[in-house]
Every structure is written in C-alpha cells, then in structure tokens.
Structure 1
Amino acid sequence: MKLQETCTASQLIFDGKFVTIHQDDVQLPNGAHTKRVWIRHPGAACVLAITPEQQVILVRQWRYAAGTALLEVPAGKLDANEDPSVCALRELAEETPYCAERVEKLAQFYTAPGFCNEIMHVYRAINISKNSQLSPDQDEIVQTVLLNADEARAAIANGEIQDAKTLIALNFWLNPTRT
C-alpha cells in the first residue's frame, strides 16, 4: 500500500504573522476520507556554537506556550527566501554576544510532523568570536548561558534542557562518535 494522503479540499483557518493554519479534507491510501488540521511554517535554523574555551553558547528565554523559561541553542524562524545558514549566523549574533565566521550543516528535522510542516536546520558555528553587541528582536528577552560539556550533560540529566532542537544539537557535541 502506498503511504500517501491526497488533499481533496483545503480551507484556511488562520492567517497569522508567520504561520497559517489549514483544515484539509484528505483521501487516505485505503480510500477512506478524513480531515487534517495542520500548520504551515516557514522553517527555522539553530546553531551549535562552542567557544574556544569549550563551552556551548545557550540562551535562556521565556517560552509562552511552554509556560516556562527554556535553555536553548540560538535559533529563529527563516525570513522569506532566506538561506537557513544565513538565519543561523544571524540568530547567533542577535541573541548572544557572539558571532561566527561561517556555519556548517549538521542535520535537519521536522519539529512536529503530525501537525506542522516546520523544518529545523541544525548548524555548527565555525570560528566563533565575542561581539559586544546584543540585538535581539524587540519581543525577545534572552540571557546568554555558557556551559562546559559536563554542565551540559548535567542540565540534560536534571531536566533543565528540555528543548528538542537543543538536545539534538548538543548530541553532535557531546556524542561525536554516535553522530
């Protein structure tokens, strides 16, 4: 059986600042019909940045939907037609007092494929340097947090780090032979 659903009709439910919500009528591979509600998202990029002192650069910020402050790698949504690598460099410079000469792609993944088409692009920052300017978006209030490898492992173990993109990015640093 071919595992593909076919959209037979689509209704725009919500048109927001950067996401849209759709309700689609679909035909399933077995011929049955159902409805799917899903979110269209422009995609995002995150960056694993390790200082020359072997500390990971993280940001702590309030996440309204989660109802708590989370510890995360710098990340943000893609602007229209923006290359994800450019987004990763921009987010590092906007959210932290650091910048990178360039980034290299580590992975990409769907954040919540059951209801959203967002793809998160994961990058590693190359040649990091300190930049005294912070320029977060107007609606972002962030704190920069530096952790060494042991501190990062402890933060994962004690539940301080709960963000999926951060756990995935940190895996590339903390378990390099497994990735």
Structure 2
Amino acid sequence: MTGAVVGEDGVARCPWAAAPGVMRAYHDDEWGRRVHGESAYLERLTLEAFQSGLSWATILHKRPAFREVFAGFDAEVVAGFDDADRARLMGDARIVRNRAKIEAAVTNARATLALREHGGLEQLVVGFAPERSPAPATTDEVPTTSPESLALSKELKRRGFAFVGPTTMHALLEAIGLLDPHLRGCHRRAA
C-alpha cells in the first residue's frame, strides 16, 4: 500500500505508521510538527544525519541514548567534545557508532555556535521553509529533495556543517514541520 492506511483504531495514517508502536507514536505526535529552540534543531539535524543509510525506527529506538550521550544536544557541550568523548561515543552500543557521523555531530555543534551571532540555527533553517508543501496522495509521489532542501544544504555546508545533503535536509524540513509531510487522506495532513 502506498496511500493512507486506516489502522485497527479506525484512524487513517501514512502507511509506514499503520501499526501500533514507536513509528506510529512518532508519526502522530512529532513528525511534521514545529519545534523551537537551538537544541531541538540541533537534535533533529543530528538524528537525521545519523539516520542516513538506516531505518528511522532504529534511530527512534536509540533516541533516548542519543539525547543522553549528546548532553541533550546542548551545542556548547557537544562542541567541546574531545578525543576521549569521541572514543566514549564509539564504544557506546546504545547509539549508532559511526565515526564520520560522530565527527559531524561535533562539527555541527561548533557551526551552530558560530551561527549565534547571525540569528542562530533555528532562524537559518526556518528561512528555507517552502512557500507551499507538496500534497502527495501516495508514497510514490513523495519527493525526497526540493529546491529549498538543496539551498539549505548548500548554505549549511558553506557555514561549516557536515552530513547535511539535500535529501537529509528535506527529511529535516519534514520532521520539524516546515513542510507538511503527510499524505492526503492522513489524519495529520494540514493538522
């Protein structure tokens, strides 16, 4: 099925959230809803980077550990991580242990600090919100990039961020509600 699916509870959702569990809870309670504040933006940016090549369910199951080991995504703390911190993270099986992604998290925290004198991470990302969201009826119609995600990717890279490709940035724009990611027919569409 590629269109909205009615679950056992009688509610229509995007098909990947049809069954009860962590993915449904994320779909219903978080995905496509606005977030606010530097740490919320840094968390989503970091988790989207760690998700690259993996399932989102894996990241959601590991999110409590990510929040713990990355100090609640406090940019100042993460920017100060040293070699011992990186080794600690590489040894922690509760998170995704990928050296390049861990390095990117530290790099992005440092770049986030540098953005503070220019309005901050949230202001920068919000500036790339599309005027209109696509309105796909099926998952086959869901775009994986957009002109806005391409432009955001370029700007973040210019400002020293890593693991911020156009597909990852499109997923970020969806996750934080800067575009409506839900299918037509899903109860969360335009909510």
**Scaled by the length of structure 1, what TM-score is found?**
0.30
The structure with more helix, counted as a fraction of residues: 2
Point out which structure has higher relative CO (alpha carbons under 8 A, 6+ apart). 2
**Scaled by the length of structure 2, what TM-score is found?**
0.29
The structure with more strand, counted as a fraction of residues: 1
